[in-house]
Amino acid sequence: MFGSYVFEKSSAKYVDRILLLDDDNLDETTNYSANFLAQGFEVVKYTDDLSFRIEYEEKLKNDGSKIVIVAQSKNYIPYDIRRRFYAYAISLSSLFPMLDADVLGEKSALDLDLLCLAYQSNFENLRKRNQTEHFFRTKVYTKANVKNYLMHALRKLMSLMKVTSSYKDWLSVVEENIEYKASFAIAEEKIKYKDWFVIAEEKAKIDVLAAQYDMEIDTSEINRRFKDYVMTQFGKLSQIIDKDTPVLISRTMEYIHENSSRFVIIVMDGMSEFDWNIISTSLRDISYEQTAAFAMIPTTTSVSRQCLLSNKYPCQLIEPWKQSKEKTEFIACAKELGYTGEQIGYARGYDAEFSSFVRCGAIIINDVDDMVHAQRQGRLGMFNDITVLMNQSKLVDTTKRFLTAGYDVYITSDHGNTPCIGLGKLMGTGVEMETKSHRMLVLKDFADKKELLEKYGLIEYPKYYLMKDYDYLMCDVGDSFDAKGEDVMTHGGITLDEVVVPFIKIKAVQKNG
């Protein structure tokens, strides 16, 4: 919403060359430039004249190219470049001239999204602090405005998913009642792997806001569409190389080793995009880059976290269904990457410390996963518990401590979590091998597999990256093998909530000490 507002104010609809003077560094906190990218612009983060000319001089001669430069007033930008670009100052005071800029500067990106809707109907001068704060309380944070924002957010999300005209019918239902079942069809165009990163992040924002304002909103249809993607495309992801992310979480160690000479990876067990959306607000004064990665399937801790720390696929793990070999797998991986024993550190908890010799460290934090498995209040309960965790600032304090010590810090998760309703507990099925997950089964030589598939509406997973001598049955979206009718938070399956996890990169030298 804020990005669309900036796009509109910048006159990008009418000009192809734009110079955005972002003295407040708003793109770092709101990522408004993503809206320019979506409209066919190439976004250039300006550093100096020489670098810009080397890379873009030829493109400037092409009348068909659309370029937006994000710079600051303090940057030296030659007259000939300024002459060819339409300049627009991006600041809170210029975008919202009727409000107090100091108050706005204290708000989060989400607050600014909500503000954009409420501000369009404001015609009063509210530049005094108390007036602006009153405006937020009585206009911006009202349920009506939040509902309106959710509608706009859903429209944007559906456009990312290339929704067909049936979305119009679905939208009319939503506009009548916020308590709805999303029903829409995806067009024939294939959604690319990186699109799911954006969709997961946007879906998380919607789910968080709905929980915060206690609104019933069902985004499960997005999980169903992702399930279809996984069943046909997940096995191809290992072929992709991306400079911004390991893509598959099983390539995390290799990716970090190639991008940092001294690092710590903090693995927040069970943290979904929903959880990160809340936790990340405590890292406001840290400059970080956010992308995402695909957890390994099944999204159990024993499988996905071991893959994350070992640089292996599940079929290559020593003990895929147990965690007893996790540290061994991590140390072996680090040594293969060239680190000596004294350069490798493995620890648990926020108080973890490494010797000055350590150059490759892993820290495991179990808080989020513990909350998931103890949760009895669904998403609302997760919102409340994660908010408490965020306010405690444990993760940010640990991050700052290692940044100060000269480490690059990476924060990610082994898998996410999703709300489910119990189908009933599996008992007396004759299953030879079963993991602790309530979202999937691992079977070997099981004669009545067909009966299980039909009785519980299960999905037979195609065994991507898994041992081929087993069968893998997954619960459908919103189902789990818990007490019949019980509302739970869990993981192990193939929904977007469980599979796409945040991947955060924080460089020690980038304004972080």
Q: Are residues 307 and 406 in the same domain?
A: yes
Q: Are residues 192 and 81 in the same domain?
A: no
Q: Does 321 reside within a domain? A: yes
* The pLDDT of residue 159: 72
* The pLDDT of residue 31: 83
Average pLDDT, the chain: 88
Q: In the β-sheet with 344-348, what is the strand arrangement from edge to edge?
A: 289-294, 500-506, 408-412, 263-268, 360-365, 344-348
Q: Are residues 362 and 413 in the same domain?
A: yes
CA distance 446 to 429: 10
Mean pLDDT value of segment 285-309 = 94
Number of independent structural domains in the chain: 4
- Confidence class of residue 447 from pLDDT cuts 50, 70 and 90? low
Q: Are residues 288 and 396 in the same domain?
A: yes
In three-state secondary structure terms, 493 is: coil
Looking at per-residue confidence, does 61 or 300 come out higher? 300
Q: Is 80 exceeded by the pLDDT of residue 185?
A: no
Residue reference for tokens 């160690």: 253
In three-state secondary structure terms, 7 is: helix
Q: Does 135 reside within a domain? A: no
Q: Which two tokens stand for residue 200?
A: 């997961």
Q: Are residues 430 and 378 in the same domain?
A: no
Q: Are residues 37 and 183 in the same domain?
A: no
- Confidence class of residue 425 from pLDDT cuts 50, 70 and 90? confident
Q: Are residues 215 and 288 in the same domain?
A: no
Q: Does 129 reside within a domain? A: no
Q: Does 131 reside within a domain? A: no
Predicted TM-score (pTM) of this structure:
0.84
Q: Are residues 168 and 54 in the same domain?
A: no
Looking at per-residue confidence, does 260 or 152 come out higher? 260
Residue after which a domain boundary falls, among 216, 234, 252: 234
Q: Are residues 380 and 300 in the same domain?
A: yes
Q: Are residues 334 and 228 in the same domain?
A: no
- Residue-range definition of the domain harbouring residue 272: 244-417+497-506
Beta-carbon contacts of 368 under 8 Å, excluding residues fewer than 6 positions away, are 268, 269, 270, 271, 275, 386, 389, 413, 417
Q: Are residues 310 and 404 in the same domain?
A: yes
Q: What is the CATH number of the domain that holds 353?
A: 3.40.720.10
Q: Are residues 252 and 223 in the same domain?
A: no
Do β-strands 67-71 and 17-21 pair in parallel, antiparallel, or remain unpaired? parallel
